[in-house]
Structures are given as C-alpha cells and as structure tokens.
Amino acid sequence: MIQINNLSHSFKVGKKGSEREIPVLKQITLTVEKGEIASIVGRSGSGKSTLLNLISGYISPTEGQIIVNGHDVTNLSEKKWAAFRLDTFGFIFQSFQLIPSLTTFENVELPLTLKGVPKADRKTRVHKMLKRVGLDDHSTHYPNELSGGQQQRVSIARALILNPTIILADEPTGSLDSETEKEILALIKELNEEKGITFFIITHDDEVAAATDRRFHLHDGVLAEGGVYVEV
C-alpha cells in the first residue's frame, strides 16, 4: 500500500543566495502492506510529521520515491495530488481539526459534499458511520459540546466516510487521557479488521506504537524497524 524508496528531504534556510540545507530525513526505505496498522515512533523533531506530509503529497521529497497503491506519486502535480488524496487517504489529527461552526453530522458530511455525493445518500452514509463510532445520538452537537474522545470519534468518522484505503493518523491519541486513548486504539483495531483499511500512525508514545502490527523508529531522520536504530 505504501512503498518508500531511499527517501531524503531537506529544508532550505537563510536568505536567497546564502541558503543552507538542513537534512530532516535520510535515505528512508519502508513498506507498509495492505491491511496493516503501522506506526512511526520518535521524539519531537525526529522527522515524523515531515514523513507524513511527504506521503500525503503536501511537500515533495528532495530525493527518493513514493509509491501508494501501486502508483508512483513522487512527482504528481498539485491538481493530481488533490484528486488522488481525496480518493485514497483519510486523515486523523491530534487536534481533531473539526470545524467549530458545523455540527457532528455536518463535519462528517463535508468530504461527501466536496465529492459531489447527492444529499439523500450523504444523509444515509453519515448516520450509518456515526452509528458505527457510537455517536449517532450526538449528530446535532457542535465540537465544543463534545468530550475529547467524542471529538476524535467524529474525526475518525469523517476520515472513513469516503471509504479510503489508507488512514494517515498524526498523534491520534496525543490529546486524550489514557483511558480514552485505549478506547480510540480499540476502535482503530476494530475498523482495521472490519474494513481492511491500512493505518499509518505517527506517535511519540511507545504504548500506542506497541498496539500496532509493525513499529518503525525515527531518530534524527534515520529510520529503523523495531527498537534498534541503524545509522545509514
């Protein structure tokens, strides 16, 4: 589902003409198989978010190759990336990224609206999804009327509503207490088993990583699988 080959990325800093490059990722190679729950664990500044942004096409790599669902997406145009992203990925964020002025129903419905799905179909699909995550009776609530765990469930429902093949999750339990974290991780596992969705999770939490099928570590831009760092 996700194949990364010799991926490196650097950011340029300084004034034009006297710029210098700061390496963030160094020769990353990894494969995430269909239906896996994989995690990237590392400290703040290790390059986790940069890797997620590269996989989802929000930034382009300095060098290397990214293949998603058998498609080489390394050099897609912004327009093609936008279409591919909508068809392929669902996103879950630490800060939930819900729109405060929209109800639970409307937040989950939004991707369907952007996709041009008819209103009657949207209504059926949203209620079905909210029921699956245990929030159908909160469909008219606004985000500030929900607990952190409930907001994350709305975020998960929104991520799933277009039936993506891959969910990219950025610290999905980072804003939750330990008990709610367990509930969200259990829901992710259930959805993975039910729908065969591939989950790619970045986290700084070893307990979250331990709950995934495969664990990768990032340390100063260098990747290793399991618990051992390997300099390249």
Residues 163-220: pLDDT tens digits?
Answer: 999 999 999 998 899 999 999 999 999 999 999 999 999 998 888 999 999 999 998 8
Fold held by 2-225 = Rossmann fold (3.40.50)
Give the integer Cα–Cα distance in Å for 15 and 218. Answer: 29
**Are 33 and 214 within 8 A, CB to CB?**
no
Q: What residues does each domain of the chain span?
A: 2-225
User: Residue 135 above 90 pLDDT?
Assistant: yes
Q: Computed from CA positions of residues 218, 221, 225, 226, in that sequence, does the dihedral angle turn out positive or negative?
A: negative
Rounded Cα distance, 187 and 133, in Å? 8
DSSP 36: -
User: Which residue carries 């145009």 as its tokens?
Assistant: 77
Q: Could you identify the residue written with the tokens 């950025």?
A: 170
Residue 225: predicted pLDDT: 75
- φ, ψ dihedrals at 115, nearest 5°: -85, -10
Q: pLDDT-based confidence at 44, cuts 50/70/90?
A: confident
What integer is the mean pLDDT of 80-92?
Answer: 93
Q: Provide mean pLDDT across the span 123-142.
A: 96
DSSP codes, 37-90? EEEEE--TTSSHHHHHHHHTTSS--SEEEEEETTEE-TT--HHHHHHHHHHHEE
Please report which confidence band the pLDDT of residue 24 belongs to, taking 50, 70 and 90 as the band edges: very high
> Two tokens at 87?
């068809």
- Kindly state the DSSP code that residue 125 receives in the 8-state scheme: H
At residue 230, the pLDDT reads 38
- Predicted pLDDT at 216: 93
What pLDDT sits at residue 231?
37
If one counts every other C-beta atom within 10 angstroms of the C-beta of residue 56, the result is 21
Residue 107's pLDDT band, with cuts at 50, 70 and 90, is: very high
- pTM of this prediction exceeds 0.75: yes
Both tokens assigned to 228? 């051992």
Q: What is the mean pLDDT of residues 6-31?
A: 88
| φ, ψ of residue 114 in degrees (nearest 5) | -65, -30
